């Protein structure tokens, strides 16, 4: 039984290695310039800020966080096809009459 499991695992593992090797040959890793990744990050925040966070905020009801009103990317790193950012999103917590800065890492 043990030998059968080892054989089955070996076949699955070796097949996966072969598939992974072939998939990288067929689909090379994309490379973007810094500005393209910056535009992707800011575009994501511009288009999705009110949709993502707005799902949890209703100005007519009690909300702990509030409505997103602005953002500021405080740290940004980009290379090839990877981008990382630290963003401070400011929420207007109308229920409590305060602005709440929330740091989000993406």
Domain boundaries defined on the chain: 1-29, 31-105
Does pLDDT of 83 surpass 60? yes
Is the Cβ–Cβ distance between 86 and 103 less than 8 Å? yes
- What pLDDT, on the 0 to 100 scale, is given for residue 75? 97
Calculate the average pLDDT of the chain: 76
- pLDDT bin (cut points 50, 70, 90) of residue 10 is low
d(CA 104, CA 49): 12
Closest C-alpha to 84, from 95, 92, 75, 97: 75
Q: How far is CA 83 from CA 34, 76, 88, in A?
A: 9, 7, 16
Predicted local confidence at residue 24, as pLDDT: 57
Model confidence pTM above 0.75: no
For position 46, what pLDDT does the model report?
83
* Alpha-carbon span 34 to 38, nearest angstrom: 6
φ and ψ at residue 79, rounded to 5 degrees: -160, 130
């Amino acid at each position: 039984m043990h030998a059968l499991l080892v054989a089955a695992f070996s076949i699955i593992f070796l097949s996966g290695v072969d598939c992974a090797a072939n998939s990288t040959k067929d689909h090379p890793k994309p490379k973007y310039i810094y500005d393209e990744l910056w535009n992707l990050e800011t575009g994501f925040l511009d288009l999705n800020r009110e949709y993502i966070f707005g799902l949890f905020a209703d100005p007519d009801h009690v909300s702990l966080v509030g409505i997103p009103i602005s953002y500021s990317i405080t740290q940004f790193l980009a290379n090839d096809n990877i981008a990382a950012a630290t963003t401070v999103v400011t929420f207007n917590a109308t229920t409590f009459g305060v602005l709440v800065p929330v740091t989000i890492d993406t």
